[in-house]
């Protein structure tokens, strides 16, 4: 199911959606954290972060299918890089699930703006008003760092398996 679209492998096609969707979700999270742009970023953040999480799941599953179809095994430089790439990709999926949960909590619980008449922001507890947006920014930055790490290892495995990764972390 997750191996091909037509005769093309699905993984190289779907990873581009994750590479675009996750940074876009991070940008929307930063826009949401500021009360002036919160109302504008609220629903795009919810849609993009859930979509990016779904795409991350599909990328993980299609990567497993591609690895099986190509018969890649650990023990050679490519296999070792792919194993680490899989490990980081798996971590990224869990990070994106947490990102989605925190983003949706923000979308539904944090006041719309300081000018919102239905919910006076001063009556919201500090954990909702302050801590939730800060948690959103933290998990967003972690997701951004992880997608770069996963992508770097994948690109190194494909284009330069015997050389060092471009990003040494």
Residue 42 lies in a domain: yes
Distance CA 122, CA 147 (A): 36
Does 166 fall in a domain? no
143 HSE (CA, 13 A, CB side): 33
Over range 129-133, report the average pLDDT: 90
Q: What is the DSSP string of 120-134?
A: -GGGS-HIIIIIHHH
Kindly state whether residue 169 falls inside one of the protein's structural domains. Answer: no
**Cα 44 to Cα 142: distance, rounded to the nearest angstrom:** 20
Residue-wise pLDDT for 35-55, tens only, equals 899 999 999 999 999 999 999
Indicate the pTM of the whole model. Answer: 0.86
Does residue 24 belong to any structural domain of this protein? yes
Which two structure tokens, joined as six digits, stand for 136?
């959103």
Q: Which domain holds residue 121?
A: 4-159
Q: What is the DSSP letter of 30?
A: H
Select the more confidently predicted residue: 126 or 167. Answer: 126
Does any domain span residue 22?
A: yes
Give how many domains the chain has, as a whole number.
1
């Amino acid at each position: 199911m997750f191996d091909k679209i037509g005769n093309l492998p699905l993984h190289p096609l779907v990873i581009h959606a994750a590479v675009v969707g996750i940074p876009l979700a991070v940008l929307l999270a930063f826009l949401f954290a500021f009360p002036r742009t919160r109302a504008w970023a609220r629903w795009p953040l919810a849609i993009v972060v859930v979509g990016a999480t779904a795409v991350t799941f599909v990328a993980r599953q299609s990567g497993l299918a591609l690895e099986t179809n190509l018969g890649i095994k650990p023990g050679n430089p490519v296999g070792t890089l792919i194993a680490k790439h899989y490990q980081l990709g798996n971590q990224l999926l869990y990070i994106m699930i947490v990102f989605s949960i925190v983003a949706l909590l923000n979308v539904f619980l944090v006041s719309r703006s300081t000018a919102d008449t239905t919910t006076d922001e001063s009556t919201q507890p500090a954990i909702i008003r302050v801590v939730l947006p800060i948690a959103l920014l933290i998990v967003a930055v972690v997701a951004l760092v992880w997608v770069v790490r996963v992508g770097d290892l994948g690109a190194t495995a494909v284009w330069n398996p015997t050389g060092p990764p471009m990003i040494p972390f």
